[in-house]
Amino acid sequence: MRFDELKTPAYVIDEKMLIHNLEILHKVEEDTGWHILLAQKAFSAYAEYPLIGKYISGTTASGIYEARLGAECMGKENHVFAPAFTDEDMDELVNICDHVVFNSVSQLKKHKARCIAAGVSFGLRVNPEFSTQGDHAIYDPCAPGSRLGVTLKNLKAALKEEPDVLSGMEGIHFHTLCEQNSDDLAETLRVVEEKFGFLMKDMKWVNFGGGHHITREDYDIETLEKCISHVRRKYDVQVYVEPGEAVALNAGYLVTTVLDKVENGITTLILDASAACHMPDVLEMPYTPPLRGGLKISDMEDEYGIDKDIEIDFDMDVKEGIWKPAKNGRYRYRLSSYTCLAGDIIGDYQFGREINVGDRLVFEDMAIYSMVKNNTFNGIPLPDIAIMDANGDCRVWKHFDYDEFKRRL
């Protein structure tokens, strides 16, 4: 089946792009000796785990089900972190995980005996209270009042009360980034060392967490490798990193069909896809996703230096990959959904052609934080999940019907 023959809505995993990302990550592993783990919270399409496992060291989980998935479907290194663990979950986790990272000293005290008895390495997540993220507080683990990770103040208090409370611990973990470059890692690492270096010198491993956009075109791999080499050399530890987005960045699409046009001061295209149901980060972050053949109005000034309010028409030259003056005029649309949520708006876009009912629109960079977060609000069907191989041939991996909707209620 070809791409344009897929029934919509459908997520499409692009294996060619996936391999492109994995080759970059694999080279960094080879060059530095660190271990890269897939953050399953971003991308859990386990049909691709055998492929991913050829390039990187394993998986990391945010809970019991992801940990089981990593153990069953990739079968390599398997790590887990969660803000808290139940006794029942911990009983299973110590049998399927290599590393367990605790969020607090109290959780560590409660569960470390199980880890020691099972021979599982355990560590503690620290909070350096140093943020480089900017405006997206929802994704900032170092925001004031964050529940994620132990602050230096609280750690010192715990050690004062019970000096050997960390006995048996073999690693520390910090996760402070989100879609960021390695200069932010370098700054964060400086603060982590200042505050928690006294712990690192006695550890066997240090985990840099996730949020590293390693496969992005402008990512500074050289600085990343310097950070890794510095920590390995100074503290004689194994270094781990847990990218999710970097594994599947730009390696997926959401294919949709225009169902209707609505006029009310702005022309809105009603699609058979939804921000609320199929790409929740659009509303949570918020952001406007990239669209093949369409220019985000919000990008006109930010990225192209064009005043979004002036009458300039332009179009995408697909061959050259640049925007040029449009030949056929300017068409602006708001893209929305067929849910009843008034705010279920994907974004405002400009096209060099008129878009009509029945046309297919393709959202890009839809492999990450989409399939793992979707839902069936309003009884909207879940999109199929298709896999496109390097030759452009597609196969439907998963189809969801009414029974799936009913089962989730």
Token pair, residue 377, equals 């609000």
Give the domain range for residue 231: 15-248
Partners of 345 in beta bridges = 336
User: Region 146-166: what's the mean pLDDT?
Assistant: 97
Rounded CA separation 42/49 (Å):
13
pLDDT digits (tens, 9 = 90+) for 58-85: 999 999 999 999 999 999 999 999 999 9
- Residue 34 and residue 124 share a domain: yes
Angle in degrees, 0-180, between the axes of helices 182-200 and 152-161, rounded to the nearest 10 = 10
pLDDT-derived band at 41 (thresholds 50, 70, 90) equals: very high
- pLDDT tops 90 at residue 308: no
191-195 long-range contacts, CB within 8 A, separation 24+: 191/128, 191/130, 192/126, 192/128, 192/130, 195/126, 195/128, 195/152
User: Does residue 312 share a domain with residue 236?
Assistant: no
Asked if residue 208 is part of any domain, the answer here is: yes
Using the predicted structure, report yes or no on whether residue 310 has a pLDDT greater than 50.
no
Indicate the SS3 state at residue 2.
strand
Q: What single letter denotes the amino acid at residue 85?
A: F
Q: Tokens standing for 208?
A: 């840099």
pLDDT of residue 396: 98
**What confidence tens digit (pLDDT) does each residue in 257-286 have?**
999 999 999 999 999 999 999 999 999 989
- Counted domains in the chain: 2
Please tell me whether residues 188 and 160 are part of one structural domain. Answer: yes
Same domain, residue pair 34 and 80: yes
CA 170 – CA 121 distance, rounded (Å): 6
Both 222 and 263 in one domain: the answer is no
pLDDT value of residue 311: 45
Task: Give me the pLDDT at residue 299, please.
Answer: 73
Based on the fold, state whether residues 187 and 50 are members of the same structural domain.
yes
CATH number at residue 284: 2.40.37.10
Where a domain ends, among 348, 366, 384? 366
Residues 334 and 191 in one domain: no
Residue 71 falls within a domain, yes or no? yes
Judged against a pLDDT cut of 70, whether residue 321 lies above it is answered with no
Read off the pLDDT band of 317 (50, 70, 90): low
In this structure, the answer to whether residues 59 and 103 fall within a common structural domain is yes
In a domain, 406, yes or no: no
Residue 10 belongs to a domain: no
Cα(109)–Cα(104) distance, rounded to whole angstroms? 9
Domain boundary among 248, 283, 304: 248
Residue 103: name the closest of 161, 171, 40, 150 by CA.
Answer: 150
Residue 35 has pLDDT above 80, yes or no: yes
According to DSSP, the β-strands at 238-241 and 35-39 are parallel
CATH number of the domain that residue 39 is part of: 3.20.20.10
Sequence-distant contacts of 141-145: CB under 8 A, at least 24 apart? 141/175, 141/176, 142/176
Residue 295 has a pLDDT of 87
Angle between helices 105-118 and 152-161 (to 10 degrees): 70
What predicted TM-score, i.e. pTM, was given to this entire model? 0.92
Average pLDDT score over residue span 237-249:
97
Across all residues in the chain, what is the average pLDDT? Answer: 93
Overall average pLDDT of the 329-341 stretch: 91
Answer yes or no: is 175 within a domain: yes
On whether both 302 and 341 belong to a single domain, the answer is yes
- Residue 330 in domain: yes
Domain identity same for 26 and 172:
yes
Residue with tokens 């929802």: 138
Q: Predicted confidence band at 309 (pLDDT cuts at 50, 70, 90)? A: low
Same domain, 362 and 256: yes
Q: How far apart are CA 331 and CA 400, in angstroms?
A: 34
> Does residue 312 carry a pLDDT above 50?
no
Q: Count CB atoms within 10 A of the CB of residue 270.
A: 17
The secondary structure element, H or E, covering residue 337 is: strand 331-337
Q: Percentage of the chain with pLDDT > 90?
A: 87
Dump pLDDT digits (tens) for 211-228: 999 999 999 999 999 999
Domain boundary residue, one of 248, 268, 288: 248
- Please report which helix (H) or strand (E) contains residue 114, including its range: helix 105-118
Instruction: Provide the CA 314 distance to its chain's centre, in angstroms.
Output: 32
Task: Name the residue among 82, 126, 128, 127 with its Cα closest to residue 107.
Answer: 82
Q: 39 with 210: CB under 8 angstroms?
A: yes
In a domain, 75, yes or no: yes
Average pLDDT of the segment spanning 194-216: 97
**What pLDDT, on a 0 to 100 scale, did the predictor assign at position 314?**
52
The answer to the question of residue 4 being in a domain is no
Give the model's pLDDT for residue 52: 98
Indicate whether 180 and 308 sit together in one domain: no
Q: What confidence tens digit (pLDDT) does each residue in 69-125 have?
A: 999 999 999 999 999 999 999 999 999 999 999 999 999 999 999 999 999 999 999
Quote the strand ranges of 28-82, DSSP E: 35-39, 58-61, 77-81
pLDDT at 133: 78
